[in-house]
Amino acid sequence: DEAAETGILAYLQAAMSQHPGSAAIQEHACGAVARLTEHNDQLRGHAGWLDLLADVQAAIRCHRKSEAVQKQACWAVLALTSQGGNKEEADRLDLLSDVQAAMRSHMQSGAVQLRACGTLCNLLEHNLSSQARAGQLGLLEDLRMAMTTHTATANIQQAACLA
């Protein structure tokens, strides 16, 4: 039920906060946050109220070398900012630079590139401040690199084109 799902977000956040050095906990918590909020506006709003984007950002930054954490964290950012939700907070946290770092750290990982490109598409859509920041960061070059590194992967090509 909705109340239980809302409560589980707080438990996930607590686990992430209490075990920041555990890549496994961060990976699974980010995945759970993504699954719960991806298609649920009410839970996405509650996650914003909890400031879960900051916890996801902490996971991204603490576990740069973990492909699994980067993939799940990018998915969580995508889910938490879909349908226009939490985009101002994502801008404030400068999550574009964290997604860029994930792309650069795991260029050979199709899974990370796919999630990162989808996340960029979501963060940049109808968001002039993020579009300007993307230009400052040189994100077009990162998208080009994803496309040239994964030429045979149609879904990465599509996600990069949409971004």
Cα(92)–Cα(74) distance, integer angstroms: 17
Is the pLDDT confidence value at 11 over 70?
yes
pLDDT band at 6 (very low <50, low <70, confident <90, very high): confident
Does pLDDT of 43 surpass 80?
A: yes
Q: At 32, list the tokens.
A: 């759970």
State residue 150's pLDDT score: 85
Confidence of residue 2 (pLDDT cuts 50, 70, 90): low
Given this model, what pLDDT does residue 93 score? 96
More confident: 3 or 68: 68
Instruction: Measure the CA–CA gap between 44 and 33, rounded to whole angstroms.
Output: 9
The Cα–Cα gap between 43 and 49 comes to 10
In whole angstroms, what is the distance from residue 53 CA to residue 59 CA? Answer: 10
**What local confidence, expressed as pLDDT, does residue 3 receive?**
59
Predicted local confidence at residue 160, as pLDDT: 80
Higher pLDDT: 44 or 3? It is 44
Higher pLDDT, 88 or 6: 88
Residue 112: pLDDT band by 50, 70, 90 thresholds? very high
Q: Give the pLDDT confidence of 113-122 residue by residue, as tens digits.
A: 999 999 998 8
Of the chain, the percentage scoring pLDDT greater than 90 comes to 64
The pLDDT value given to residue 149: 87
pLDDT score, position 18: 98
